[in-house]
A and B are shown apart, each in its own frame.
Chain A
């Protein structure tokens, strides 16, 4: 277990604002491109199993909504099942 602890938090490349902005920019462009591609007939399923597959942006909307729901709704689970660390150790 060799670990060196530094008190000063030196800035790495991922901490730089330029990198974060670039990452976000690429992500937004790629996401929009993927959404647009969904409307191009060549990128659509010839024989979709379900009607929603023909909506063009269905997967984008579902992916975004699912992720949001998981995080925003899921965090409340902590109120129900969350206990302090060592909960079991104190009782066993």
Chain B
């Protein structure tokens, strides 16, 4: 009993889950305070636990470690708590029970995943994250969001199935369920099939190239608060999993580099600014994946921490504009700075931070990744990351604030964001600048303390090279605007990889379903015809008019009895 109690009270993820479940039972107006209190209790528990393993459970002779708090899981757990608290404050007063539940149950699942010390516990929370998050996609309650949620759920469950398969295969090979370094290749350099399956599972949730489009399909269709929450947890849980299991996997460098590049171009032509930010998620996770490929775990974890704060801030600022105007489309926004100056200012802080201007959280974390490429002497990757940095400036640093608050005047004059939103955005902006100027508390959380000890972000050359890159990129933007070469925003739908499963895939599914149905009807027709014929024959023999239903004469029965007795006598004689 004590063991079971320990299992629950020592797991911050369980505390958050209990808080989320309470929202389903208590009056709606108490939901936000309860969610915040649960987050605070969970954070205190995380702090008091200290590094170590907790919540050991025996299952089929194997010991599962439901909570492992080490430097890598700690930094993710800390930022997940910060993000959960900010989201609750941002959505303060939200009455929708399903959304309130998911607001904490989903971060709880992601937190449970990063704290999992074994693969079974990871799988459990992995699936919980998929199931709880889909409520946020469905929250608007339209047919479009229903279909999007179903697609999202299918892909997330596919990732879970692959993870389970990978776990089984890995367990068969290694004999352990512990979730530690796996590595993609064996000692001979050959790719391990078991590892490849897990790699793919993590790749789907990290939104690897060609597997990325579930993010754009689902996240922008959610509610204002739902999109913010969704933007944070799933991909970062996947980044954590890759950092745990596949650090130093060189393939990740190339995959990550592609991830940093292609979303830039889709973001450029996208009119829905929330969708622009989802492409930004792909791009940002790409930087983290590159870092993992180099084995630069500080870069991956630090940038994940930073990204959750500044990308969250951009989502929040855009969400505030959407809350007041009812749209997130660039063609319908613009000129909001006149009546939403505070939101605009906070948005610009997020934009500066994601662009990694000196003095921001982005600057003190992104440098770790660019430096890793330099130290690995991979010139083209290094150049690609610099190119992608200019791209980040374009779509997240300039496009989001410019088209929301400036650009052409939409004529809309909305009020400032509500107080809850302002507090959450203000706190995020304070962290962007505070940790940007004084990164020591963040660096103290870094998983590899030996590596971070010698890192000084504010070296003269680092500041100069970053300022050159960014200022000249802004100058390019100014030139393009002055020459009127910057493309106007156009209301449109831009096809991406989701086209394959939404159009031909859907038609193929329809054809397969139709063919299956026709085949089934044909087979059933043949089967039922045969059964019908058999039944008719049985009826003909055994029915009221059948031969077997006739009453037999006594003499006929006596004859048969004599034959049978004679047969028995003959057999006895033979025996």
Q: In the assembly, what is the distance between CA of A71 and CA of B479, in Å?
A: 12
Which residues of B lie under 8 Å from residue A65 when comparing CB positions?
A: 476
Least CB distance, B367 to chain A, in whole angstroms: 12
Which residues of A lie under 8 Å from residue B486 when comparing CB positions?
A: 71
Known contacts A1-B324, A10-B338; is A78 also within 8 Å of B269 by CB? yes
Contact pick for B467, options A34, A42, A71, A85, CB 8 Å: A34
Least CB distance, A90 to chain B, in whole angstroms: 10
Least CB distance, B355 to chain A, in whole angstroms: 11
* B266 touches A (CB below 8 Å): yes
Q: Is the CB of A75 within 8 A of B379?
A: no
Q: In the assembly, what is the distance between CA of A61 and CA of B386, in Å?
A: 11
Least CB distance, B146 to chain A, in whole angstroms: 10
Cβ-closest chain A residue relative to B329: A85
B contact patch SS: helix
Q: Is the CB of B494 within 8 A of A82?
A: yes
Q: Is the CB of A75 within 8 A of B487?
A: yes
Known contacts A3-B324, A78-B487, A85-B491; is A45 also within 8 Å of B473 by CB? no
Cβ-closest chain B residue relative to A1: B326
Q: In the assembly, what is the distance between CA of A61 and CA of B409, in Å?
A: 33
Known contacts A7-B411, A88-B493; is A62 also within 8 Å of B265 by CB? no
Least CB distance, B410 to chain A, in whole angstroms: 9
Which residues of B lie under 8 Å from residue A81 when comparing CB positions?
A: 266, 269, 494-496
10 nearest A-B residue pairs (beta carbon):
A49-B374, A66-B390, A59-B468, A67-B476, A63-B469, A60-B468, A87-B493, A67-B473, A75-B487, A63-B473
Interface residues of B (CB under 8 A from A): 144, 147, 264-266, 268-269, 323-326, 335, 337-339, 374-375, 377, 379, 382-383, 386-387, 389-391, 393-394, 406, 409, 411-415, 460-461, 464-480, 485-487, 490-496, 502-503, 506
Given contacts A12-B338, A31-B472, 9 further A-B contacts (CB under 8 A): A1-B325, A7-B411, A9-B335, A12-B335, A35-B472, A49-B377, A71-B394, A82-B495, A87-B493
26 cross-chain CB contacts under 8 A: A3-B326, A3-B414, A12-B338, A14-B337, A30-B471, A31-B474, A42-B460, A43-B464, A59-B465, A59-B466, A59-B468, A63-B470, A65-B476, A67-B390, A70-B390, A70-B391, A70-B394, A72-B485, A74-B268, A75-B269, A81-B266, A83-B492, A83-B495, A84-B493, A86-B493, A91-B503
